[in-house]
Structure 1
Amino acid sequence: MHPWVSLFSGGKDSSWALYRALEADHPVERLVTVHPAGDSYMYHVPATDLAALAAESVGIPLVSVRPDDFGAEDVDDAGAQGDAELEPLEAALADLARDLGGIGGVTAGAVESSFQTDRIRAMCERLDAALFAPLWQEEPRDLADAMLDAGFEIRIVQVAAAGLDESWLGRTLDAAALADLETLNDRYGVHILGEGGEFETLVTDAPHMDRRIELAYETEWDGTRGRLRIEDAWLD
């Protein structure tokens, strides 16, 4: 059986896909994190540098992919940018396939984005690898509840949507936060899992992690959007 690779940002969706893959006894032997230089159509951007700390806690080696540029100005449209963004990831996975003697499967945390999933599925076909996407087209509240029931501790590290003010930065995504997000969904259309980029997350603790991630940070807020500026992070 060929080893598996998990696409991993440290956020809740990719962490849940990894957790479910491990639960299903898929032999995940590498995590792969892409670090976009700027805004990205394909990848989770904020706090990806913390993925190495999360990987250390999980106990699976991490491969970092740092392409030179993800600038939208380099291509004609979003589709072309998405294709361009996929190239360094696919090259990294092809290198891994050679090193590992093949890749049996790839995990991905896509929920509703056909833009991402179609490209990742096509990439897996070219690599002759299965795609494991356990969040795909599942009901968002059910997914959120499953993560909390499993013991995931999820922190919000970036917000960019109407109704999400500075008080959300660093907030734990718990039952009370989910209830507030459902209210914001009704009022502003905020996706309960942030699928539209309304917010981004970091998993600081989970059953498949040996040690919890602790953070020291300041908040940056411009009046409409903001993020955590991580000053220090360590494993407890």
Structure 2
Amino acid sequence: MSDADGAWVSLFSGGKDSSWALYRAIERGLPVERLVTVHPEGDSYMYHVPATDLTALAAESLGIELIDVEPEDFGAEAAVDSSSQGDDELEPLEAALADLDRELPGGVAGVTAGAVESEYQTSRIRGMCDRLGCDLFAPLWRQDPRELADAMLDAGFEITIVQVAAHGLDESWLGRTLDREAIADLEALHEDYGVHILGEGGEFETFVVDGPHMDRRIDLAYETEWDGTRGRLRITDARLA
């Protein structure tokens, strides 16, 4: 469906993993011409959920056009298990990419994805790319978590934790910057509780507020919501600095 000279599309949530995949693609010289953000309703097996409404600001800072896939694009039928839900959730994304393949000069040459260890997500995205006839660029896949964290920080990423849901992560982690001190604390929590230092098991979610590929930093104002075991940031204001 596409040729080698086509455009690249970044699957983008604003979190650290999809942002790192985008950054590495730009570093490699891949022509990323669109960001695609999926906005699922409720919990999702396939997608990063919190703070996806902030991706419009991130796209403006990045200077790349954003395509939103909204909840109404998802089927009304509830999936009966995680496998079928993942497949159902993929359909509106695949439809959006197929539309872009028809619209963009040269079609969609490839897709970037921020998967680290999830075979569940990666196998579905890889299958989607095969059906669309495009390449997949997943630079985080099966990489060492600590080395990835260090690389993000070395590059100048500023990463804010926007949601936590794991033993050992209390309300003080909400709004915390994922810096080297936080990484060291996460390594200790990994030893005590099995917390993944990149939050790959859903232990925490992030949003990248600044990085070398962004023209302007995103300033956040927020309140914390905590139920005793898990919590999230409720963003009250967000703007480009």
User: What are the residue-to-residue correspondences of 1:77-226 with 2, within 5 Å?
Assistant: 77-101=81-105, 102-226=107-231
- Corresponding residue for residue 60 of structure 1: 64
Q: Secondary structure at the match of 2:71?
A: coil
Residues 1:33 and 2:37 aligned together:
yes
State the TM-score, normalized to the length of structure 1.
0.98
Q: Deviations over 1:30-53 (max 9, x none)?
A: 000000011000000000000110
State the superposition RMSD in angstroms.
Answer: 1.3
Distance in 2 of aligned mates of 1:41 and 1:48: 15
Q: 1:227 aligns with which of 221, 227, 232?
A: 232
Determine if contact 1:217/1:228 at 8 Å carries over to the other structure: yes
Distance in 2 of aligned mates of 1:226 and 1:157: 9
1:67: how far off?
2.8
Distance in 2 of aligned mates of 1:222 and 1:73: 30
Q: 1:76 aligns with which of 63, 74, 80?
A: 80
State the TM-score, normalized to the length of structure 2.
0.96
* Unpaired runs of at least 5, structure 2: none
> After TM superposition, what 4+ stretches of structure 1 lie above 3 angstroms from structure 2?
69-73
Distance in 1 of aligned mates of 2:50 and 2:29: 29
Determine if contact 1:109/1:133 at 8 Å carries over to the other structure: yes
Distance in 1 of aligned mates of 2:56 and 2:93: 17
Distance in 2 of aligned mates of 1:209 and 1:231: 22
Distance in 2 of aligned mates of 1:198 and 1:116: 17
Number of paired residues? 236
Q: 2:55 aligns with which of 13, 37, 51?
A: 51
Distance in 2 of aligned mates of 1:73 and 1:163: 36
Could you tell me the percent identity over the aligned residues?
A: 77
Determine if contact 1:39/1:70 at 8 Å carries over to the other structure: no
Q: Secondary structure at the match of 2:64?
A: coil
Tell me which amino acid in the other structure corresponds to 1:95: D
